Amino acid sequence: MTSETPITIPTTEQIRRAPKALLHDHLDGGLRPATIIELARETGYEGLPEPDDADRLETWFRESADSGSLERYLETFSHTCAVLQTRDALARVAAECAEDLAADGVVYAEVRYAPEQHLEKGLTLEQVVEAVNEGFREGERRARAAGNRIRVGALLTAMRHAARALEIAELANRYRDLGVVGFDIAGAEAGYPPTRHLDAFEYLKRENNHFTIHAGEAFGLPSIWQALQWCGADRLGHGVRIIDDIHVPDGAHSGEGDEGGPSGVSAARSGEVKLGRLASYVRDKRVPLELCPTSNLQTGAASSYAEHPIGLLRRLHFRATVNTDNRLMSGTSMSTEFEHLVRTFRYTLDDMQWFTVNAMKSAFIPFDERLAMINEVIKPGYAELKAEWLFHAAAPEPPLTSGSGESQS
């Protein structure tokens, strides 16, 4: 982009229509509330806190997840996992997930879940993976029929408090190129360092496979350091606490740019902001950060959107991406996450494109397929929105100019 590019702060409708790429979304954190109620009836699960009313159930999930503690947040998943114990339930929820993401303008998604949490009624690990894959393919078909295009890949998660990581890593490898694109570990961070699962990570590295690790969410720099330097993670699930290794003079913490507009890098260049060794490594090596702003507010990793580190990380040109984490527990969607960021940091369509291209570059599918998504879907989609803005939108004021550079990631 040139310095002539007008600032195009998108409307809610444009945010929804803009092509988006999602790297961090949990299948068991994104069920439709009405589906949970139906599945509970069908499968005889009697533990739902609001068994009769989808709106009340939706509110219950959001409020319960709002505790400020990751451990309490994670307790809500006992209800979603309870209704995801049959082949049909898993396939249905996966199909609805793909449909919902596509309707929200997501064109590429990596959706994760822990197969080991879906074995209570006798399914095997393989049956779980096949049911979910089948559901994703069905959801992609339904989305296409509705005029939306999406590609969904699965990430298999191992729970960090359990001891099945190697087994799940082997499963991910077995289903590679068959709908599974990588591996993850999740669950409570405190007391369960990622190094407990070194055998799984070493196995995946030997197999040239990809993995991300939930790190730097509830726990700080040591967890990020271990995930990268001991385990060899390709990406960081959250990684938001990398902010602890970035030293900012008082008053400069907000993501709003000063001289350079919302996307300016002036503070970084002027030397006011100092990066420690780990933060430098993460930025210089282009380690993707799967940032999930609303989820972070709920678990206490950040105190407001304005103070969320994503503003600074974007300004400093970290490989930052925007994600939902758990759409049900956070009452969110990709559009909602971007809506908060656009209103808070005055992000433009160029900024949205930057985050989206960052995510696509960091995806676990092959390079040529990533490139095709960027060049054939994402860039044309943003170009179309920007052209509409220039030629049709009733711009209230003459355009300002912006220096946001989409080519830098």
Ligand X SMILES: O=c1[nH]cnc2c1ncn2[C@H]1C[C@H](O)[C@@H](CO)O1
Q: Which residues bind ligand X (CB under 6 A)?
A: 26, 28-29, 70, 74, 77, 81, 112-114, 117, 157, 186-187, 214, 217, 295, 325-326
Q: How far apart are CA 48 and CA 59, in angstroms?
A: 13
Identify the active-site residue in 99, 110, 116, 217. 217
Question: Has 210 been labeled as part of a binding site?
Answer: no
- Asked whether position 99 contacts Zn ion by CB under 5 A, the answer is no
Residue 371 is encoded by which pair of tokens?
């490139």
Phi, psi of 275 (to 5 degrees): -100, 135
Residues linked to residue 291 through DSSP beta bridges, in sequence order: 322
Residues linked to residue 275 through DSSP beta bridges, in sequence order: 246
Helix and strand element counts for the chain (H, E): 19, 10
187 binds, among ligand X, Zn ion, none (CB under 5 to 8 A by kind): ligand X
114 binds, among Zn ion, ligand X, none (CB under 5 to 8 A by kind): ligand X
**Number of Cβ within a 10 Å radius of residue 134:** 16
- Asked whether position 325 contacts Zn ion by CB under 5 A, the answer is yes
Q: Whole-number minimum distance, CB 185 to ligand X, in Å?
A: 9
- Asked whether position 96 contacts Zn ion by CB under 5 A, the answer is no
Contact stretch for Zn ion (CB under 5 A) within 122-130, 319-327, 344-352, 358-366: 319-327
Q: What residue type is assigned to position 303 of the chain?
A: S
Closest CB to ligand X among 139 and 187? 187
217 binds, among ligand X, Zn ion, none (CB under 5 to 8 A by kind): ligand X
- Asked whether position 100 contacts Zn ion by CB under 5 A, the answer is no
Q: Whole-number minimum distance, CB 216 to Zn ion, in Å?
A: 12
Contact stretch for Zn ion (CB under 5 A) within 102-110, 177-185, 321-329, 376-384: 321-329
Q: Whole-number minimum distance, CB 215 to ligand X, in Å?
A: 10
Question: Has 28 been labeled as part of a binding site?
Answer: yes
Question: Has 66 been labeled as part of a binding site?
Answer: no
- Asked whether position 189 contacts Zn ion by CB under 5 A, the answer is no
Q: How far apart are CA 283 and CA 124, in angstroms?
A: 40
Closest CB to ligand X among 29 and 309? 29
Q: How far apart are CA 172 and CA 166, in angstroms?
A: 10
Question: Has 122 been labeled as part of a binding site?
Answer: no
Do the beta carbons of residue 128 and residue 172 sit within 8 Å?
Answer: no
Closest CB to Zn ion among 106 and 267? 106
Residue 236 is encoded by which pair of tokens?
């960081």
**Number of Cβ within a 10 Å radius of residue 110:** 28
Q: Whole-number minimum distance, CB 321 to ligand X, in Å?
A: 15
Burial class (CB in 10 A: 0-12, 13-18, 19+), 147: exposed
Name residues contacting Zn ion, limited to 70-89 (CB under 5 A): none
* Three-state SS at 106: strand
105 binds, among Zn ion, ligand X, none (CB under 5 to 8 A by kind): none
Q: How far apart are CA 241 and CA 223, in angstroms?
A: 9
Q: Whole-number minimum distance, CB 211 to ligand X, in Å?
A: 14
Q: What angle do CA 333, 339, 345 make, to 5 degrees?
A: 135
Look up 96 and say whether it is catalytic: no
Beta-carbon contacts of residue 392 (< 8 Å; ≥ 6 apart): none
- With residue 156 as reference, give the H or E element that holds it: strand 151-159
Beta-carbon contacts of residue 325 (< 8 Å; ≥ 6 apart): 24, 25, 26, 29, 292, 294, 295
Question: Has 187 been labeled as part of a binding site?
Answer: yes
Q: Whole-number minimum distance, CB 89 to ligand X, in Å?
A: 15
Q: How far apart are CA 212 and CA 220, in angstroms?
A: 17
Closest CB to ligand X among 75 and 258? 75
**Number of Cβ within a 10 Å radius of residue 4:** 8
Closest CB to Zn ion among 24 and 315? 24
29 binds, among Zn ion, ligand X, none (CB under 5 to 8 A by kind): ligand X
Burial class (CB in 10 A: 0-12, 13-18, 19+), 205: middle
Q: Whole-number minimum distance, CB 73 to ligand X, in Å?
A: 7
Q: Please name the residue that has the structure tokens 């949990």.
A: 26
Closest CB to ligand X among 239 and 403? 239
Footprint of Zn ion on this chain (CB under 5 A)? 325
Catalytic residue annotation: 217
Residue positions in the annotated binding site for Zn(2+)? Answer: 24, 26, 214, 325
Residue positions in the annotated binding site for substrate? Answer: 26, 28, 187
